[in-house]
Amino acid sequence: MIDLHTHTLLSDGVLLPSEMVRRAEHRGYRHIALTDHVDTSNMDFAIPRIVQTASEINRHIQIKVIPGAELTHIPPAMFASMTRKARELGAAIVVAHGETPVEPVAPGTNLAAIEAGVDILAHPGLITNKEASLAAEKGVYLEITARKGHSLTNGHVARVAKAAGAKLVLNTDAHAPSDLITVKFAGTVALGAGLTEDDFKDMRAQALNLLKNIGAIQA
């Protein structure tokens, strides 16, 4: 399992980073990104600690930990500067909290995040064809999510992404150990979104390509 969107108690998750990683490793994960929610109030605190934890525990475990951050409920106009700041602080993967239908995310967030060049636009809700085409052009991955509520628009995201040629990635948005899933269940989520088994295999390959492109794993 490759999961590039998870949370710890450094934001609103319930586990220490080390325990989240161990729980994932026990579940059979091969790669996990720790992407706690950040805005201007806490990114200077959270990201360096995730980076430090990933650096230390990667020397002792089989699972690969990637430090990241999820820019969450920030004004669209701030995405460009905060994406740069997150990367400067050491986030190897920058996730944007997209316009999910179950939270009052500011209109224009999807477009601003894509234009800023985040790595993954999480749970992008009713993303438009134009936005998906721009994501394809800029290499921004669109997320199919296993998380309750956010997953309501998985089918729409899958259809629009495939039509636009945008890359897809499947993540859990895990906040607790019960949110972690197996590869088999991930496949069920993908099929439930209207994707094929070949699409699911391609998503897993694309996730590995993303990790290679950011230097998290060797090419």
pLDDT tens digit string along 94-105?
Answer: 999 999 999 999
CB 164 within 8 A of CB 131: no
Return the DSSP state at 134.
Answer: H
* Residue ranges covered by each domain of the chain: 2-213
pTM of the model: 0.97
| Structure confidence at residue 219 (pLDDT) | 62
Length of the chain: 219
Intervals of the chain under pLDDT 50: none
Which runs of E-coded beta strand occur in 63-209?
A: 64-71, 93-97, 120-122, 141-145, 168-171
* SS3 call for 62: coil
* C-alpha distances out from residue 212 to 31, 92, 97, 196, Å: 12, 11, 23, 24
Please give the helix or strand (H or E) that residue 19 lies within, else none.
helix 17-27
pLDDT tens digit string along 16-42?
Answer: 999 999 999 999 999 999 999 999 999
For domain 2-213, the CATH class is alpha beta
| Structure confidence at residue 55 (pLDDT) | 96
